[in-house]
Amino acid sequence: MKPEEQKQLLMDIQPGTPMNRAIQRYWLPVCLTRDVAEPDCDPIRVRVLGTDYVVFRDSEGRVGILDELCTHRSASLCLGRNEQGGLRCLYHGWKFAVDGTIVDAPNVKDPRFKERVRQPAFAVREAGSIVWGYFGPAEHEPPFPHYPFFDLPEENRVVELVVASANYTRVVEGLLDSSHTGVLHQDALAQLAKGEGPAPSFGGRRRVSTGAVLAKDLSPDIEVQETDFGLRYAAVREYKDAEGKKARAARITTFAFPTTICVPPDNLMQITLPVENDRSHFFMVFWDPTREIGVGAARQEVLEYYGIDQTAMDKWGLGREFHDLPDRPNTQNNWGQDREAMRRGESFTGMYRFIPEDFGVSGSMGATDRFPMEHLVPSDLAIARFRRRMIDNATRLERGEDVHGLAPKEPIRAGFVTLAEGESWQDHFAAQAPAPTA
């Protein structure tokens, strides 16, 4: 397979493509629980893998995911009335339950008709302040995953959804690229090194303790270990500690099929939902079992640190309601870059911190119908392995085999470990691993 054919297979998630069929075989996050917070609230439209669906919560609090277009004459159910146990199409009054059964069809006299016809409906779960959907063949529905933040009170987690005008691979690969952190995000890292700005804590480790190491070595050694759920890789850096002694640290990032990334500190998970070939929704989940980070000043510190606070949502266009407004960052206005601030030496990128910087760069890579020559280097090893595993997954399914990672036996987690002389990160990380959750 030629390189451009590989990239096409990897990046094209439109209906009918091999990657579309592969990603459909997993549970995917589709929206936030607060998007459909109350019984009989307004239905919402969600787009997943190039197809539109409607999500609603019925009078008893059950959530449903249906094909957006009514099975009668294709009117949008997002226009429908959500009331009295179902979603009613405005066009002819057909009413559907969360499982797609017809509970009322005013213009059909045959009472048996409702037993023969259904609106396409999809498996749905609610967990961790997220609504999840499964869009593959019903007979292949995988076990629903269980993540640690599912078990915590809502006050102990922060869950946000932001928008990127980029292919899902651009977003995932940015998270697998440890070497960019000390360059693209150097403004925020410099603040950390000085003890300035927000520096949230997760699981007892403050970000200031890891951020300074990233800035000291821009060309880390990358080591990759394939796993049953995907892969994990370590960016191993040498640096001098506070006493001037030589030290080594491994920043361990985990990728789980199809688009889940865990990066240090331990309690951070990022899941990319492929919406279109050049649009992705990015779910960011932070949790702490020891304290409430989902409320008050602690929550605000998390949002500000990563650049997903209200300033980022509005001015920098990360929020769904702001993203497509013409004056928000886009190709035409060079992603809102402030060149004057760059000239004054106040900013390296001229953009807001972390996620707006990441998404500006990802969006700048261009449409997915162009595949320019790339020159990968050793620090891109994890990206190359991610691509290979994703392509292999899609081709396995086309051969009639099952995809990887549907019921992983190993725990999916990240870490930042300081290594003693002669110690491997694999052994040290394995020794710290918690028992797998059933």
Provide the residue range defining the domain that includes 350: 149-432
Nearest to 206 by CA among 312, 302, 310: 302
CB 163 within 8 A of CB 282: yes
**Quick check: is 14 in a domain?**
no
pLDDT band (50, 70, 90) for residue 244: confident
CB 336 within 8 A of CB 328: yes
CB 236 within 8 A of CB 136: no
For 258-299, the pLDDT digits (tens) are: 999 999 876 999 999 999 999 999 999 999 999 999 999 999
CA-CA distance, 159 to 32, in Å (whole number)? Answer: 8
What mean pLDDT value characterizes the chain? 92
pLDDT over threshold 50, residue 357: yes
pLDDT band (50, 70, 90) for residue 247: confident
Q: What CATH number is attached to the domain comprising 232?
A: 3.90.380.10
Residues 302 and 323 occupy one common structural domain: yes
pLDDT over threshold 60, residue 207: no
Residues 133 and 279 occupy one common structural domain: no
CA-CA distance, 202 to 268, in Å (whole number)? Answer: 8
Residues 322 and 421 occupy one common structural domain: yes
Q: Which of 111, 141, 171 is the last residue of a domain?
A: 141
Residue partners of 379: CB distance under 8 A and separation at least 6: 177, 178, 179, 219, 220, 222
* C-alpha dihedral, 197 to 200 to 201 to 207, nearest 10°: -50
**Quick check: is 41 in a domain?**
yes
Full-model pTM = 0.93
pLDDT given for residue 210 in this prediction: 54
Number of structural domains (the chain) is 2
Residues 233 and 188 occupy one common structural domain: yes
pLDDT band (50, 70, 90) for residue 96: very high
CB 201 within 8 A of CB 211: no
Q: Tell me which of 266 and 245 has the higher pLDDT.
A: 245
pLDDT given for residue 212 in this prediction: 52
Residues 159 and 137 occupy one common structural domain: no
Return phi, psi of residue 330, to 5°.
-160, 180
Q: Which of 114, 141, 168 is the last residue of a domain?
A: 141
Q: Amino acid letter at 345? A: G
Lowest mean pLDDT among 69-78, 84-93, 347-356, 402-411: 402-411
What would the mean pLDDT of 244-268 be, rounded to a whole number? 90
User: Which DSSP category does 309 fall into?
Assistant: S
**Quick check: is 106 in a domain?**
yes
What would the mean pLDDT of 123-131 be, rounded to a whole number? 98
**Quick check: is 315 in a domain?**
yes
**Quick check: is 156 in a domain?**
yes
Residue partners of 325: CB distance under 8 A and separation at least 6: 317
- What secondary structure does DSSP assign to 236-271, as a single string? EEEEE-TTS-EEEEEEEEEEETTTEEE-SSSSEEEE
pLDDT band (50, 70, 90) for residue 216: low
Long-range contacts of 34-40 (CB under 8 A, 24+ apart): 34/129, 35/131, 36/63, 36/131, 40/82, 40/83, 40/84
What would the mean pLDDT of 173-193 be, rounded to a whole number? 90
pLDDT given for residue 136 in this prediction: 98
pLDDT given for residue 206 in this prediction: 55
For 363-421, the pLDDT digits (tens) are: 999 877 777 888 999 999 999 999 999 999 999 999 999 999 999 988 898 988 888 88
Residues 108 and 164 occupy one common structural domain: no
pLDDT given for residue 243 in this prediction: 77
For 309-349, the pLDDT digits (tens) are: 999 999 999 999 999 999 999 999 999 999 999 999 999 99
pLDDT given for residue 111 in this prediction: 86
Residues 275 and 241 occupy one common structural domain: yes
Residue partners of 436: CB distance under 8 A and separation at least 6: 409, 410, 411
